[in-house]
Amino acid sequence: MRRELQDLHSHPGFTALAASRFISNVGNGISPVALAFGVLALPGATAKDLSIVMAARMFPMIALMLFGGVVGDRFKRNRIVGGADVIGSAFAAISAISLIVNQSSVLILALMGALFGILNALWWPAMSGVLPEVLPKEKLQHGNAVIALTTNIGYVVGALLGGILVTAFGSGWALLVDAISFFIAGIIVWNLDLPTIVRQNVNTVFQDLKSGWHEFISRSWVVTVVVAFAVINLSYESLLQILGPLNFSKFDNGPQFWSFNLAALTTGMLIGSVISLKVHFGRPLLFAMLIISATAIWDFSLALSAPLWISLICAFLAGIAIDIFMVVWNTSLQSHIPEESYSRVVAYDAFGSFGLSPLGIAAAGPLAELFGVSTMLYITGALTLTAALAALSVKSVRDLRLVKKPTS
């Protein structure tokens, strides 16, 4: 493993990119705990208010994702990522200060979340295309695994820190740390010294979207997995953003209990990153979709009001599965999709995979008030299990193999 790390370190920009992901994800680990319990602490706040704030972050991101893909294929990707992080840190800071001075509201938090979502629509497709500009194709699986490893270490630190900060100092101070992490990460990515890639910009935005759509739709394995993840992410984001915090909101130490679950999830992701470094998957998507189906155990453990230690184990196992899938999926896309259209294909991927998530987040709070949190968790678990296994009925998903760089 040391040799692989030294090899990756020899590529200019890789170490700085990994460091930026670590720093940013300390903030990303803090954010879901701080924001969720910050909303629930507002006077008269309900589950519906939590859904409004969380959905406000998702709707503009999904709506503008395709445009973000075009931008990512036309301009320098690390500058898009760095600029979005720095500007986003200002929106996070406004939310934080409003909570600290007790002048916050659902409207303020939703508005800042919506502005942050617009930036995410630019950030996501561009970020996914930075690593292929740093590493050659044959090193992408190791590179993705190391980036995932550093990302997840940051998230574990952030999730644990988030529970402590919210309990000890309040959500506002926790969100302020989140804002600082975004700013630092953005500066690092902005200053990456990446090779200039000449891109043809003679097409209109519509023509670029059309060509990206043809690249996306021409691969049945891509379309199948994206459709499956439209359902899986609807369930996962509903759990992560709404149902999980609601499930623990009845406890005095609810923020810490939920942060423990998030830390267990991300610790599992760390192990998934190590597995991805060590193991070559002959049929990567076959294995990845099978283990993704098993993530439903986390939903079911929370629905059953299992003891905390059981939910932590289930979250840990879900994290292993999620990270292995993400490494496999990113490597599969990076290996098969041409670089010049990669950001657009990733944009279609994100648009499809997360297209239903805002609806799930918006509906999860009101439905939990009507039918109960446990009932909704049973439903999200069943949807995850069914969608993941259904994707394996498509032969191209079962048979996909990674592309290796030809030897000369």
* Tens-digit pLDDT profile for residues 100-148: 999 999 999 999 999 999 999 898 888 878 887 878 777 777 888 788 8
pLDDT tens sequence across 4-35: 667 776 777 888 888 999 999 999 889 888 99
Report residue 226 as tokens: 């994206």
- Say if residue 174's pLDDT is above 70: yes
Report residue 51 as tokens: 């859904």
What pLDDT score does 227 carry?
94
Domains parsed from the chain with CATH numbers: 12-194+205-399 (1.20.1250.20)
In Å, what is the CA distance from 289 to each residue of 102, 198, 321, 362? 45, 36, 9, 27
More confident residue, 344 or 114: 114
- d(CA 370, CA 362) in angstroms, rounded, equals 14
The distance from CA 30 to its chain's CA centroid, rounded to whole angstroms, is 14
Count Cβ atoms within 10 A of the Cβ of residue 212 and give its class: 0-12 exposed, 13-18 middle, 19 or more buried. buried
Pair 253, 307: CB distance under 8 Å: no
- Say if residue 407's pLDDT is above 60: no
Q: Which long-range CB contacts under 8 A does 366-370 form with residues at least 24 apart?
A: 366/47, 366/48, 366/51, 368/47, 368/242, 368/243, 368/246, 369/46, 369/47, 369/48
What pLDDT score does 347 carry?
79
The number of beta carbons lying within 10 Å of the beta carbon of residue 248 is 22
The pLDDT confidence band at residue 402, using thresholds 50, 70 and 90, is: low
- d(CA 172, CA 41) in angstroms, rounded, equals 11
What pLDDT score does 248 carry?
87
What pLDDT score does 178 carry?
94
pLDDT tens sequence across 38-94: 998 899 888 889 889 988 988 898 888 888 878 887 888 889 999 999 999 999 999
- d(CA 225, CA 3) in angstroms, rounded, equals 33
What pLDDT score does 406 carry?
37
- Say if residue 97's pLDDT is above 90: yes
Pair 362, 52: CB distance under 8 Å: yes
